[in-house]
Structure 1
């Protein structure tokens, strides 16, 4: 099973393929099921750790940005550059990861 969609990586720049349809014809009964349709690669260890922190924080009922940032810092979560989280850095990171 593939943990990401290898064909999605070619579309990250939002530029249409000049060879549309080549190697994409699906033959009934021989089409592989890609579980992770929207991932162009597997999540990094940093991304996985951030998700675990966020899930734990949301489970406590935190929903406000400032409280979320405080909780991330209190749990020892840091940005990818090892900096403390701020509201601005968190919003920028969510925009980057969500592209």
Structure 2
């Protein structure tokens, strides 16, 4: 015998899914990071006179956070945007 349980709460249907909120946050972050990344790449090419491909690889993860070469922490950028705050609050609720 197989029992299928379905969840159909009106509150969850009205709330956007976590995946949708993640996509919204990422799109908002990319709207800010994209132009900054492109400016850094162009500066790298012009001032450091490096090949564009090398500069694009170097700045590919710009804004993602992580660790520096020296091991220091580097916080991710733009998680304070309203779309990302909404995601954070939804994650804390669930």
TM-score, normalised with respect to structure 2 = 0.26
Structure with the bigger percentage of strand: 2
Structure number, greater radius of gyration:
2
Greater relative CO (CA pairs within 8 A, separation 6+): 2
TM-score, normalised with respect to structure 1 = 0.25
